[in-house]
């Protein structure tokens, strides 16, 4: 009847969903609640962890008061760390879902509820991560104009002159390569991150075909994660083995934040293995692995 009246029909479920649909405009950011709560947890955890490792440690062990670092240095650690973890959390459920499908040998069985919720909030989680990542270059670019930085920089020069060093600054080629590579990976990763964020917007995503959209979100997404993780690895490559970095026997934040992205990338690599990829593609095209007898009996019994 609605179609005959010239109205567009949209199936939003049974009549019992009507109350929920009516309440929908009155809800405050319902889709953002889970991603924001996921973001708040690691932000608070990393903030306190880094505060203890940096500020409290310096106060207790070195008798120096560096609480001013909370404003820029600490923020510039917490934001990229959480951004990287959240970016990887956008791709972890996809990998888990693929392993579920491989294990079950079919795409026709529902995922657990928690995985469904997680997959549904990936877009919002990615956008929150992009917001965090956006703050990182801004904080980074103001580093040279900070009083503390200029003071340290000038003191070092004056010390070198006082020590009568003829060649005050030894140029380390390896360090130059490391710094340039890590910065350019950061810039590239950031650019791709923005591209991902833009294509997830309905107005931009709507203008792309399904194939283009899934290419950008999946292939380019994993590439972004890889580049951002490489940025983190190159930043910490020469710090892994330095005992002085393990203050009070705790690892630095930039090492901890590499765990989840590395796990996601390894899982993705496993899924890309030709034998695994072939089976997964077949399952996603509708093929089903014949089930073991016991399971079949169980399913039949449930159906009955």
The reply on whether position 46 binds ligand HEM by CB under 6 A is no
Residue 290 Ramachandran class (φ > 0 left, ψ -120 to 50 alpha, else beta): beta
Query: Who's near 190: CB < 8 A, 6+ residues apart?
Result: 133, 136, 137
Please answer whether residues 221 and 189 qualify as being in contact, where contact means their C-beta atoms are separated by less than 8 angstroms: no
Tell me 164's DSSP state.
T
CB of 129 to ligand HEM, least distance (A): 7
d(CA 222, CA 232): 15
CA 290 to chain centroid, in Å, comes to: 37
Number of residues that bind ligand HEM (CB under 6 A): 25
Binding-site string for ligand HEM from residue 148 to residue 187, where x marks contact by CB under 6 A and - marks none: -----------------------------------x--xx
Among 234, 235, 260, 268, binds ligand HEM (CB under 6 A): 235
Supply the minimum distance, in Å, between the C-beta of residue 254 and ligand HEM.
4
- Closest separation in Å from C-beta 33 to ligand HEM: 23
133 in contact with ligand HEM (CB under 6 A): yes
Specify the residue, 187 or 296, whose C-beta has the smaller distance to ligand HEM.
Answer: 187
Residue 130 interacts with ligand HEM (CB under 6 A): yes or no: no
Under the binding rule (CB under 6 A), the answer on residue 254 touching ligand HEM is: yes
- Taking CB under 6 A as the rule, does residue 196 contact ligand HEM? no
Q: DSSP of 4-27, one letter per residue? A: TTTPPP-----GGGHHHHHHGGGS
Decide: is 90 part of the binding site for ligand HEM (CB under 6 A): no
Burial class (CB in 10 A: 0-12, 13-18, 19+), 244: exposed
Report the residue number, 98 or 228, with the smaller CB distance to ligand HEM.
Answer: 228
d(CA 213, CA 204): 10
Query: How deeply is 121 buried, as exposed, middle or buried, from its count of CB atoms within 10 A (0-12, 13-18, 19+)?
Result: buried
Whichever of 182 and 213 has its CB closer to ligand HEM, that residue is 182
Q: Closer to ligand HEM at the Cβ: 55 or 280?
A: 55
Is 79 an interacting residue with respect to ligand HEM (CB under 6 A)? no
First to last CA, the chain: 37
Residues that bind ligand HEM in the complex, under the rule CB under 6 A: 73, 76-77, 80-81, 83-84, 87, 133, 136-137, 140, 183, 186-187, 189-190, 193, 228, 231-232, 235, 253-254, 257
């Amino acid at each position: 009847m609605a179609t005959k009246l010239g109205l567009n029909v949209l199936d939003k479920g049974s009549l019992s969903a009507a109350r929920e649909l009516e309440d929908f405009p009155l809800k405050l950011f319902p889709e953002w609640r889970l991603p924001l709560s996921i973001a708040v947890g690691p932000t608070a955890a990393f903030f306190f962890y880094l505060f203890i490792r940096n500020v409290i440690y310096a106060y207790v062990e070195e008798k120096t008061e560096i609480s001013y670092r909370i404003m820029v240095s600490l923020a510039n650690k917490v934001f990229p760390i959480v951004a990287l973890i959240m970016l990887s959390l956008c791709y972890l459920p996809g990998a888990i879902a693929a392993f579920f499908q491989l294990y079950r040998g079919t795409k026709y069985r529902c995922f657990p509820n928690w995985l469904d919720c997680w997959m549904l909030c990936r877009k919002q989680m990615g956008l929150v991560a992009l917001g965090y990542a956006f703050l990182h270059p801004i904080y980074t670019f103001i580093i040279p104009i900070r009083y503390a930085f200029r003071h340290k920089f000038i003191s070092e020069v004056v010390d070198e002159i006082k020590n009568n060093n003829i060649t005050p600054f030894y140029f380390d080629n390896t360090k130059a390569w490391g710094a340039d590579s890590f910065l350019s990976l950061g810039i590239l990763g950031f650019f791709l991150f923005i591209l991902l964020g833009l294509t997830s917007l309905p107005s931009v995503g709507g203008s792309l075909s399904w194939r283009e959209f899934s290419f950008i979100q999946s292939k380019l997404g994993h590439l972004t994660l890889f580049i951002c993780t490489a940025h983190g690895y190159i930043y910490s490559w020469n710090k892994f083995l330095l005992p002085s970095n393990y203050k009070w026997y705790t690892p630095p934040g930039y090492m901890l934040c590499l765990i989840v992205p590395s796990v996601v990338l390894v899982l993705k690599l496993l899924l890309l293995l030709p034998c695994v990829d072939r089976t997964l593609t077949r399952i996603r095209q509708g093929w089903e692995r014949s089930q073991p007898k016991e399971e079949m009996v169980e399913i039949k019994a449930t159906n009955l």
